[in-house]
A and B are shown apart, each in its own frame.
Chain A
Amino acid sequence: MPRTRTPYSQNRVGPGGRIRRRMPRDRPTDDSMESTVTNHTDPPTAVVEMRGISITFPGVKALDDVDFRMFPGEVHSLMGENGAGKSTLIKALTGVYGIDAGTITLAGDQVSFSGPAQAQAAGISTVYQEVHLLPNLSVAENIMLGREPRRFGSIDWRAMRRRSAQLLAGLNLDIDPGSLLGDHSLAVQQLIAIARAIDVQAKVLILDEPTSSLDTDEVAELFRVIRSLKEQGVAILFVSHFLDQVYEICDRLTVLRNGKLVGEYLTEELLRIDLVQKMIGKELTTLDDLEQRARSVVVDESDAANFVTAARLGRRGAINPADLPIAVGEVVGLAGLLGSGRTELARLLGGIDRADSGELTIRGKATKLRTPRQAISHRIAFSSENRRDEGIVGDLTVRDNIVLALQADRGWFRPIPKKRRDELTQSYIQALHIRPGNPDALVRNLSGGNQQKVLLARWLAIAPGLLILDEPTRGIDIGAKAEIQKLVFNLAENGMSVLFISAELEEVLRLSHRVVVLRDRHVVADLENDGLTVDALLALIADGSVEADDTDAASGTNGDRVAVLGASDASETSDHLTIDNVPGGRR
């Protein structure tokens, strides 16, 4: 999709405004950004100005000294990976959360909201990520609730229907305002929530992931409305993880990472690739000199050598149909932002979620995975990114945790003999250097890295053919990280297939024979890792020039994916992009 730039942004940041100074404080953030921002001129007054906002939840600093501003007649986007603090910042602005430190200024007055009602009264209108409407009431009521037109103390139902019909017509939504909200699809409900928000004549309109359930036409409609509101001088905060949409509609971006401010930028001056780097936290460095290990890539064979072949495997709302062949002994890395579908795809392969389209072939046999147990019996092990909730059992010992999957696979009526359990545990403790090396230690008392190793041991114990590792190195110390990476490499050398997911692109590159890139729930590229660079991957993750959409899906060829890189600045890698040298890449 071409980047359309609306004329407003140029007008806004025209030469008329005063030179804006960066926030006075020095921030330990990307240096590249400082220069980007200081040169701008801004419209004179911000309608919202949040300064030094900090919010602490038990155990977590959700926001740490964050500044944020919004200008009238401008669409502003908050960008960041999950956990960056976007939703928290929004909830601080809308009075849902109280702030621990900092000030919020609305149209020049310092405010402190004790609830959403106050924020609404002050002119801040919000559409939340999840639809927060009432399925038991009519559409009209959902739009007008709390400010119903009244006559003689009674709600004037007719005026209410009329007004909401107008609003719906303004959104080109042809539904009966008297119908129950719960009878409409999620997308329509989302639009109704927006209708509610724009009825308030708000100064500030906050749209948190408003497009996640809308189709292209509905998004276009929404953008039309946003643009007209913008012309009326409303300040709009638009949060979306669809980069295309952000670049289409937004004038200004604020990037957060791990609860901290990375910076504020004008959309037109920030390349997508830079944006993604700032979100992920990777500098555009001179390439991390990875010790390029000699790789014996399994290139040539047919499907038979593939341990798993996914063909157009997909699940509605999670991941669009994707092809993913994994050869025996191959490490395939999945790269993409959070929400790009990387975990979702892995979950399909691990039998955690059921695919609703496509085929899965395991060792040459078409198979349907319905439960993780089936996956295990096919020797597919899935190690979740959510180590605490979906991985370890904290109150069991190291030994119990290690034998868990093997025991489950054998069935509960064939207990593993105690001696065998001890041997198994002992050997994994030694092989993986689990510390403390005490089989009777409770796993919750182990460090993150050692917990991860216990998990690995659990899955290795079932002798998997395919090991799916979702963020195995997140939140663990460097030493353990290196050990796990080495282990993955050794396992692959011994013929185990590994699907490796990590937010750290260097890690993905270091370990993978092949890298599959996902964006917006599509597989956008499937590349041989031969001279691939972090920059090239970032370009792929960021760039919107590829539409691996349904037309592509219909044609059934993967060839068009190659177009991706041609358009980007990573053309030096384009010769590796032919899909033909990827095992099983073409059916």
Chain B
Amino acid sequence: MTNLLEAPQQPKLPAGPGTPSTRRLGATIRNLMTSPKYGPVIVTAVLFIAVFVIGGVRYRGFFSGQVFLNLLVDNSYLIVLAVGMTFVILTGGIDLSVGAVVALSGMIAASLLQTGWSPSVVIPLILVLTSVLGLLVGLMIHVFKVQPFIATLAAMFLARGLCYMVSQSSISITDPVFVSLAQTRIPLGGILSITPSVIIALVVVAIAVWVLHATRFGRTVYAIGAGEQSGLLMGLPVARTKVLVYVISGFCSGLAGVLFTFYTLSGYPLTAIGTELDAIAAVVIGGTLLTGGYGFVLGSVLGVLVLGVIQTIITFEGTLSSWWTRIFIGALLLVFIILQKVLTARRR
């Protein structure tokens, strides 16, 4: 005991003044890193910065604001998807239907606009329809105690099938509102610019952050992830919340579908195959535990950015096939899941 107390006054004194505070800082950092709450997010943030810096060193023109903004521009729909997915995964569930719903809302938009509907009707209609689909999925999960994996798998097949019902081939969108939304660049001074989709995605993120951190609903989402039974015994509205997260995910998928059509200006039944897995990957890389309870929306945004920056690097590399993106994402996902295990295991 006494030895411990005297230790700082030993010969090492020169380093003395800094030592206790550095040590405290070290302890704080170690605490943060091993915290299941913050650890994975911090790792992702560090990773993102590292990859970005590596890219900047290797490639000319990589280290620019526009490259960063393009990450948002190219992935705005994925950000929205990841936000919805974060809600679901935080409760310990999963939503496999989002990719198909993106394709479906694109198809609906394209075909309705083709027949002359106004975008001011089409967009709200899509959002309502996809929310209702989410509601049905949520009810299926809650009322009939179907595994989320199965329920959303069914929804995925349903949505994908409906795409083909609408049309078997690509429908291009010529509606002036959609075209202008797709082409508008909002200048941010200098040569920097973003698209309206980015604004929409960021608004969605902001709302999601607020909902998850400052409303009872949001806290209940976290509570369910940690222990549905505990939440129930604490008298929280578990049932309502559980259904609602799937509605939110449905809504986000619909919105993401609309943003995706801004990006592609067409509806095609085969689009966004596997996008649900990208969204899940982004959420997990962003530090949300697949078992639920821990994670942040901003982490998921970071996850999307990490996926985006890897894609960008591969584009800059030029010689690599785009399939390398998949390989990197796969490896990254594996590393992250193991990392989460290690970090949280050391804790206890």
Q: Please list the residues of chain A having a beta carbon within 8 angstroms of any beta carbon in chain B.
A: 96, 115-117, 119-121, 126, 128, 132-137, 141, 145-146, 148, 150, 153-155, 157, 180, 182, 196
| Count of B interface residues, CB-CB < 8 Å | 26
B233, A128: Cβ atoms under 8 Å? yes
Binds A, one of B42-50, B134-142, B187-195, B216-224: B216-224
Given A115-B232, A121-B235, decide whether A137 and B216 contact each other with a Cβ distance below 8 A: no
A116, B232: Cβ atoms under 8 Å? yes
Given A148-B216, A154-B210, A155-B215, decide whether A136 and B235 contact each other with a Cβ distance below 8 A: no
Given A116-B235, A128-B233, decide whether A148 and B219 contact each other with a Cβ distance below 8 A: yes
By a CB distance below 8 angstroms, the chain B residues around A154 are: 210, 214-215
Closest residue of chain B to A132, judged by CB? B230
Closest residue of chain B to A153, judged by CB? B215
Give chain B nearest CB distance to A567 CB in angstroms.
41
Residue in contact with B233 in the complex, picked from A116, A148, A153, A157, CB distance below 8 Å: A116
For residue B264, CB closer than 8 A to chain A, the reply is no
A145, B223: Cβ atoms under 8 Å? yes
21 A–B contacts from the bound complex (CB under 8 Å): A115-B232, A115-B235, A116-B234, A116-B235, A126-B233, A132-B233, A133-B234, A134-B222, A134-B223, A134-B226, A134-B227, A134-B293, A136-B222, A136-B226, A146-B235, A146-B236, A148-B216, A150-B216, A154-B214, A155-B216, A180-B35
Closest residue of chain A to B213, judged by CB? A155
Given A153-B215, A154-B214, A155-B215, decide whether A96 and B222 contact each other with a Cβ distance below 8 A: no
Given A136-B225, A137-B223, A145-B223, decide whether A155 and B214 contact each other with a Cβ distance below 8 A: yes
Taken together as a complex, chains A and B put the C-alpha atoms of A132 and B227 apart, in Å, by: 8
For residue B119, CB closer than 8 A to chain A, the reply is no
| 0/1 string, B1-45, CB within 8 A of A gives 1 | 000000000000000000000000000000000011100000000
By a CB distance below 8 angstroms, the chain A residues around B231 are: 134
Given A141-B219, A154-B210, A154-B215, decide whether A136 and B37 contact each other with a Cβ distance below 8 A: yes
Residue of B37, B223, B235, B236 with most partner-chain A CB within 10 A: B235
Closest residue of chain B to A152, judged by CB? B214
Residue of A135, A150, A154, A182 with most partner-chain B CB within 10 A: A182
Closest residue of chain A to B218, judged by CB? A155
By a CB distance below 8 angstroms, the chain A residues around B237 are: 117
By a CB distance below 8 angstroms, the chain A residues around B35 are: 180
Give chain B nearest CB distance to A460 CB in angstroms.
43
Closest residue of chain B to A95, judged by CB? B235
Taken together as a complex, chains A and B put the C-alpha atoms of A135 and B220 apart, in Å, by: 13
Closest residue of chain B to A91, judged by CB? B233
A135, B226: Cβ atoms under 8 Å? yes
Taken together as a complex, chains A and B put the C-alpha atoms of A145 and B227 apart, in Å, by: 13
Closest 9 CB pairs of A and B: A117-B235, A154-B214, A136-B293, A134-B226, A132-B230, A120-B235, A136-B226, A132-B233, A155-B214
For residue B147, CB closer than 8 A to chain A, the reply is no
By a CB distance below 8 angstroms, the chain A residues around B230 are: 132-134
14 more CB-based (< 8 A) A-B contacts, given A96-B233, A146-B216 = A120-B235, A121-B235, A132-B229, A134-B227, A134-B231, A134-B293, A135-B226, A136-B293, A137-B219, A145-B219, A145-B234, A154-B214, A155-B214, A180-B35
Taken together as a complex, chains A and B put the C-alpha atoms of A180 and B294 apart, in Å, by: 11
A117, B236: Cβ atoms under 8 Å? yes
Residue of B36, B225, B233 with most partner-chain A CB within 10 A: B233
Give chain B nearest CB distance to A63 CB in angstroms.
19
B219, A155: Cβ atoms under 8 Å? yes
Give chain B nearest CB distance to A118 CB in angstroms.
8
By a CB distance below 8 angstroms, the chain B residues around A155 are: 213-216, 219
Taken together as a complex, chains A and B put the C-alpha atoms of A133 and B232 apart, in Å, by: 10
For window 218-262 of chain B, which residues contact chain A by CB distance below 8 Å?
219-220, 222-223, 225-227, 229-237
Give chain B nearest CB distance to A208 CB in angstroms.
11
A132, B222: Cβ atoms under 8 Å? no
Residue in contact with B294 in the complex, picked from A136, A153, A196, CB distance below 8 Å: A136
Give chain A nearest CB distance to B229 CB in angstroms.
7
By a CB distance below 8 angstroms, the chain A residues around B233 are: 96, 116, 126, 128, 132
Residue of B36, B226, B294 with most partner-chain A CB within 10 A: B226
Residue in contact with A137 in the complex, picked from B214, B222, B232, B235, CB distance below 8 Å: B222
By a CB distance below 8 angstroms, the chain A residues around B219 are: 137, 141, 145, 148, 155
By a CB distance below 8 angstroms, the chain B residues around A128 are: 233
By a CB distance below 8 angstroms, the chain A residues around B214 are: 153-155, 157
Give chain A nearest CB distance to B245 CB in angstroms.
16
Taken together as a complex, chains A and B put the C-alpha atoms of A137 and B210 apart, in Å, by: 16
By a CB distance below 8 angstroms, the chain B residues around A135 are: 226, 293
By a CB distance below 8 angstroms, the chain A residues around B222 are: 134, 136-137
By a CB distance below 8 angstroms, the chain B residues around A134 are: 222-223, 226-227, 230-231, 234, 293
By a CB distance below 8 angstroms, the chain B residues around A121 are: 235
A137, B226: Cβ atoms under 8 Å? yes
Residue in contact with A146 in the complex, picked from B210, B215, B234, CB distance below 8 Å: B234
Closest residue of chain A to B239, judged by CB? A115
A145, B236: Cβ atoms under 8 Å? yes
Give chain A nearest CB distance to B207 CB in angstroms.
12
Give chain A nearest CB distance to B36 CB in angstroms.
7
Taken together as a complex, chains A and B put the C-alpha atoms of A208 and B136 apart, in Å, by: 39
Give chain B nearest CB distance to A145 CB in angstroms.
6
By a CB distance below 8 angstroms, the chain B residues around A196 are: 234
Closest residue of chain A to B223, judged by CB? A134
By a CB distance below 8 angstroms, the chain B residues around A126 are: 233
Residue of A116, A150, A196 with most partner-chain B CB within 10 A: A116
Taken together as a complex, chains A and B put the C-alpha atoms of A535 and B230 apart, in Å, by: 43
Closest residue of chain A to B293, judged by CB? A136
Taken together as a complex, chains A and B put the C-alpha atoms of A117 and B237 apart, in Å, by: 8
Give chain B nearest CB distance to A547 CB in angstroms.
30
Taken together as a complex, chains A and B put the C-alpha atoms of A196 and B214 apart, in Å, by: 20
Taken together as a complex, chains A and B put the C-alpha atoms of A137 and B236 apart, in Å, by: 14
By a CB distance below 8 angstroms, the chain B residues around A148 are: 216, 219
By a CB distance below 8 angstroms, the chain B residues around A180 are: 35, 37
Residue of B213, B214, B215, B234 with most partner-chain A CB within 10 A: B234
By a CB distance below 8 angstroms, the chain B residues around A182 are: 36
By a CB distance below 8 angstroms, the chain A residues around B294 are: 136
Taken together as a complex, chains A and B put the C-alpha atoms of A115 and B294 apart, in Å, by: 27
Give chain A nearest CB distance to B243 CB in angstroms.
16
Give chain A nearest CB distance to B164 CB in angstroms.
42
Closest residue of chain A to B38, judged by CB? A180
By a CB distance below 8 angstroms, the chain B residues around A120 are: 235
Taken together as a complex, chains A and B put the C-alpha atoms of A87 and B36 apart, in Å, by: 33
By a CB distance below 8 angstroms, the chain B residues around A137 are: 219, 222-223, 226
By a CB distance below 8 angstroms, the chain A residues around B234 are: 116, 132-134, 145-146, 196
Taken together as a complex, chains A and B put the C-alpha atoms of A135 and B36 apart, in Å, by: 10
Taken together as a complex, chains A and B put the C-alpha atoms of A138 and B245 apart, in Å, by: 22
Taken together as a complex, chains A and B put the C-alpha atoms of A155 and B225 apart, in Å, by: 19
Give chain A nearest CB distance to B2 CB in angstroms.
25
By a CB distance below 8 angstroms, the chain A residues around B235 are: 115-117, 119-121, 146
